[in-house]
Amino acid sequence: MEKRVYIRTYGCQMNERESESLAAMLGDSGYEMVGEEESADIILLNTCSVREQAEAKAIGKSNLISRGKNREKLVGIIGCMAQNLADILPKKSPNTRLIVGPDRIEKVPEYLDQLLRDSNRRIIDTEMGAIDPHFAAARDEKKVKTSMFVSIMRGCNMGCAYCIVPKTRGPERYRPMEEIVDEIRWLAERGTKEVTLLGQIVNNYGTHRLPYVNGKSPFVQLLEKIQQIGGIRRIRFLSPHPKGFRSDLIDAYQNLPKLCPQVHLPLQSGSDAVLRTMKRPYGGEQFLAIVAALREKIPTIGLSTDIIVGFPGEMETDFEKTCDFFDKVKFDMAFIFKYSARPGTAAERLGDPIPREVKEVRNQILLEKVERYSRRYNELAVGKVKKVLVESWAKRGQRRLEGFSPERKKVIFAGTEDLIGRTVDVLIESCTTATLFGKMI
Ligand code: 5AD
Ligand code: SF4
């Protein structure tokens, strides 16, 4: 069998980054990475378990690819769903020969070698352990771009009642600060201008492992170190938790010029009662205080969030509180999720009592709000000049470039290829809900 591999990635940015690392490691082990499944001999699905639908989609896909003319291909399921469903996947997806959880992805090249030698074998590995430093930093030098993800930790200790992540990704473990800084230096030397630090709860970075220094948390110390790296112009992170979003982090938005004026801060619900059942350790007031403190420092800061509708026990009055909260904060972007009960989570015993239609109505109401406030936020930028970090050609439209404002709003404007990787001034002339359009000045 040839060794052409296609990786299909589902789920979050963490998965995207891990697929990237795996591709680099496979390349070093003599595998050839291809961009579409038709020409691949080996297909790996890097999967997500956060909602039932995500799992159903990946299982359907794995069965589809192991049928018909694709029968000869070696199929592997890796990532969160491999961890979550390791026991039943061999039955649900009988042709899948490799099942590897997110903590052991670094072993995939070795396992594929073994499977290619012995076509009767199936390998399942859902062990958890220390972060493999080689895997965490693995990259294909040819794939380094203007904006890159950098993983700073693994796992989650929060225990939100609805969430499968502690089960699939295990407890928090942190990469050493020097390793992260070295990796970002390496990227900067190869042209990266923006890094987005990834972790389930980034502001927990180093908790109980690294000391506070001058009242600053390990996470803020890490941001300060990255601020010093020449060539890096922008720093972002995904996602912080409202608990532990303290004044040292809020001050960092003022003290660290490279830290972009943008936060994705998951709220989940605007009702304190629902937050309590969700085991989210904060209330609406606390969240509002963070927003107020951030806006006092940077009035135009971009603020986005995640909301779950239809969590067990969410009454109409609770949902109204979420709506009111939205109207108060006016998030400029939000992901709205319909609750999906996950086996093995604390909320499983609450069932899934809210009817699908009710979730759908709540979802729609919030989506309309998201649209209204996104548009309003973008309209405020029209007539203003934005510093745009240019990332690539725009997907549609000739000779048009795509970049991002400091608030991470997409900006499209006419320009030339040499501008990719540079920061330019763009006068914003018009907008849609999702995009700003302008001309370079
Ligand atoms: N059902 C629906 N949405 C969920 N999320 C996490 N778990 C669930 C679930 N069981 C959402 C949360 C989280 C985002 C990544 O996914 O809003 O912030
Ligand atoms: Fe990412 Fe969570 Fe999905 Fe795992 S379950 S891939 S951590 S979103």
Question: Exposed, middle or buried, 257 (CB in 10 Å: 0-12/13-18/19+)?
Answer: exposed
pLDDT band at 396 (very low <50, low <70, confident <90, very high): confident
pLDDT at 434: 94
Which atom from ligand 1 is nearest to the alpha carbon of 341?
Answer: 10
Instruction: Quickly name the fold that domain 133-379 has.
Output: pyruvate-formate lyase- activating enzyme (3.80.30)
Nearest Cα residue to atom 3 of ligand 2: 48
Nearest CA to ligand 2 atom 6: 48
C-alpha of residue 381 to centroid of ligand 1, in Å: 31
Please name which ligand lies nearest the alpha carbon of 52.
1
Nearest CA to ligand 1 atom 2: 339
266 pocket-lining for ligand 1 (C-beta < 6 Å): yes
| Alpha carbon distance 92, 114 (integer Å) | 23
**Can you give the pLDDT at residue 65?**
83
What are the pocket residues of ligand 2 if the criterion is a CB atom closer than 6 Å to any ligand atom?
11-12, 14-15, 48-50, 79-80, 164-165, 168-169
- What region does 337 belong to: left with phi over 0, alpha with psi -120 to 50, or beta? beta
For residue 427, how far is the Cα from the chain centroid?
A: 30
pLDDT in tens, 324-372: 999 999 999 999 999 999 999 999 999 999 999 999 999 999 999 999 9
DSSP per-residue codes, 78-132 = EEHHHHHTTTTHHHHSTTEEEEE-GGGGGGHHHHHHHHHH-TT--EEE----S--
What pLDDT does 106 receive? 97
> What is 4-125's CATH topology?
Rossmann fold (3.40.50)
Please determine, for residue 68, whether its predicted confidence score (pLDDT) is greater than 70: no
Neighbours of 421 (CB within 10 A): 18
pTM recorded for the entire structure: 0.97
Task: Find the farthest-apart pair of alpha carbons in the chain and give their distance in angstroms, rounded.
Answer: 64
Residue 64 has pLDDT above 90, yes or no: no
Computed over every residue of the chain, the mean pLDDT equals 96
Q: Best substitution site from 15, 48, 80, 163 to test ligand 1's pocket, by max atoms within 8 Å of Cβ?
A: 163
Assigned CATH topology for domain 385-440: OB fold (Dihydrolipoamide Acetyltransferase, E2P) (2.40.50)
Ligand 2 atom at shortest distance from the alpha carbon of 10: 6
The CA 390 to ligand 1 mean position distance, Å, reads 31
Residue 154: pLDDT over 80: yes
pLDDT mean over 283-298: 98
> Which pLDDT does position 2 carry in this prediction?
66
Interval 213-252: pLDDT, tens: 999 999 999 999 999 999 999 999 999 999 999 999 999 9
The predicted-structure confidence for 372-393, as pLDDT tens digits, reads as follows 999 999 999 999 999 999 999 9
**Can you give the residue ranges of every domain in the chain?**
4-125, 133-379, 385-440
Give the confidence band of 67 by pLDDT, cuts at 50, 70, 90.
confident
Q: Determine if ligand 1 sits within 6 Å of the CB of residue 311.
A: no
Interaxial angle between packed helices 108-117 and 13-28, expressed in degrees from 0 to 180 and rounded to the nearest 10: 50
On the CB side of 387, CA atoms within 13 Å amount to: 9
Kindly tell me if the per-residue pLDDT of 72 is higher than 90.
Answer: no
The whole-number average pLDDT for the span 154-175 is 96
Ligand lying nearest the CA atom of residue 240: 1
Q: Which amino acid is at 256?
A: L
Angstrom distance (rounded) from CA 347 to CA 361: 22
CB 121 within 8 A of CB 115: yes
Check residue 1 and give its pLDDT: 56
Q: What pLDDT score does 398 carry?
A: 77
* pLDDT score of 397: 66
Residue-wise pLDDT tens digits, 74-128: 999 999 999 999 999 999 998 899 999 999 999 999 999 999 999 889 999 999 9
